[in-house]
Amino acid sequence: MDMFGSFGRGISQRADLVSSSEKLCPMCLRVRRLSGEKKCAIHVKAESLAAHHPEFDLKSIAGSSPPGVFVGRFGYPNVNVGPMVPSISGDTEILDTPEWWMGKGFDEIVDFRYSLLRGYSKANVSDAQKGGRLIETLHEVAMMTKPVDTELVLSRPPRKILDMREDSQPFGPIAPLTSFHAGNSSVDDRIEKAFYDGDLPADDAVLQLYRNGVLVTRIQRAFSLGMFGESKRRKLVPTRWSITAVDSNLSLKLMSRVRHHPLIDEFRVYKYTYLDNIYVGLLTPEHWKFEWIEAWFEPELLATSFPDVNMAEDVEKSSYVSPKGYRPVMLGDSEGFRGRKTYAKPGGCYYSARLAVSEYLDSIGKQAGAIMLREIHPGYIMPVGVWNVRESLRVLLRTPFERFDSMEAALNYVSSIFEIPKRGWIETSALLQNAYFQRKISQFN
């Protein structure tokens, strides 16, 4: 929704909406009732958007791009593409580097997103190989290691968008580009080398960059601009798709190594909490298999809101009901030793989680079965992106773990961490059901 739309005719005309967290909107009243949060997703977005409102009222914006770029997906194969630029100069790298956001709160993460203006122009996905002034400049920007001074001339002042959907990720103002100019900065020779190698397959380029220490986010950025692969086959890839593609391809490469490592000799349980998400990792002394399950609490009389994916299919309501009367909604998928051939039901989160797990096992030279569980509580007021899953599981797997000599003991410990009881997870988990297929679910109340 445009910030000057029907919701109070815009932030600038409804200062009472965003100026005080004590003047709660109806959504805030709901979240406060559930979790004690003072502000809902709409309040956090509105306050950040209002704070940046004066900076983006002009048709010319100058600032240091993190560097940041984006490729839209609507209208594919004719998509919107352009740079992401703040109105400030200097060290802005953190604004588009999610790997550095761990430990940050919703206010800071939303502020990072809303600090970046997205200038856009229409392009065909095949323009990645054909070039053109804008695409060539974006390629140069994506190869830079540090923020680069840029200037955008827009055909109209940016639209400041306050998305009223609680389950939508925050994104900054947008406007069509008239022109885009970028200065000079240091170039990452690792990305540059892959870009100019027109015979190197894209998957190999991605793995090579990853092994050379390039941040996954930067690989995804260049991948989305069609900078890798055989020259005649390069295409722009919508940013959302490129994130999942890189996570998936990297994890497949790492899994092929993990399958040859020796098995761990114990059951391990890891736990980590961030943004009112509880993550638990269960590693079992078995050949590689993987499962990702996320569960969130559906408020009574309200539509389901999905955490980091927007999928209405394949969700399950647990038989468990919390003391407050809320029933968990659970979504998961799994794969065996040989992997999977279909797209996972939870979407991008599945592949981000699989990358974090396969990365960890390869780093310790071990093989294991992996069941990754995520319990999402009402304090998680908005989705922030699948990066949150990848980075949270990276932290999770670096924490000290508890050792157990049986699945039974490990699951009993897991159930002591979550609100949802053991039976609820077993009902949703294919791998746990396989482990207990000879025993009745009723034993695990």
pLDDT in tens, 127-147: 998 878 999 999 999 999 999
Would you state the pLDDT for residue 56?
Answer: 78
Q: What is the pLDDT of residue 404?
A: 98
Arithmetic mean of pLDDT over the chain:
85
Average pLDDT over residues 167-175: 74
Specify the higher pLDDT residue, 5 or 439: 439
Question: What pLDDT score does 443 carry?
Answer: 53
pLDDT of the residue at 131: 78
**The residue to which tokens 């396989």 are assigned:** 434
Question: CA end-to-end span of the chain, whole Å?
Answer: 45
Are the C-beta atoms of residues 152 and 117 closer than 8 Å to each other?
yes
Query: What pLDDT is recorded for position 13?
Result: 36
Residue with tokens 């109806």: 26
> Helix, strand or coil for residue 348?
helix
pLDDT digits (tens, 9 = 90+) for 247-272: 999 999 999 999 999 999 999 999 99
Mean pLDDT of 198-210: 96
Query: What confidence score (pLDDT) does residue 43 get?
Result: 77
Is it the case that residue 32 has pLDDT exceeding 50? Answer: no
Kindly state the DSSP code that residue 252 receives in the 8-state scheme.
H
Answer whether residue 25 shows pLDDT above 60.
Answer: no
209: DSSP letter = H
**Residue range 111-116: average pLDDT?**
91
User: pTM value?
Assistant: 0.87
Q: How far apart are alpha carbons 18 and 28 in whole angstroms?
A: 12
Distances (CA, A) of 133 to 147, 230, 312, 391: 20, 21, 40, 35
Which of 278 and 13 is assigned the larger pLDDT?
278
The percent of residues above 90 in pLDDT, for the chain, comes to: 68
Task: Give the model's confidence band at 162: pLDDT under 50 very low, under 70 low, under 90 confident, else very high.
Answer: low
pLDDT at 206: 98
Indicate whether 83 pLDDT > 60.
Answer: yes
* Number of separate helices (H) and strands (E) present in the chain: 15, 13
Average pLDDT over residues 97-106: 95
Q: Rounded to whole angstroms, how far apart are CA atoms 153 and 83?
A: 12
The sign one gets for the Cα dihedral 418, 422, 428, 434 is positive
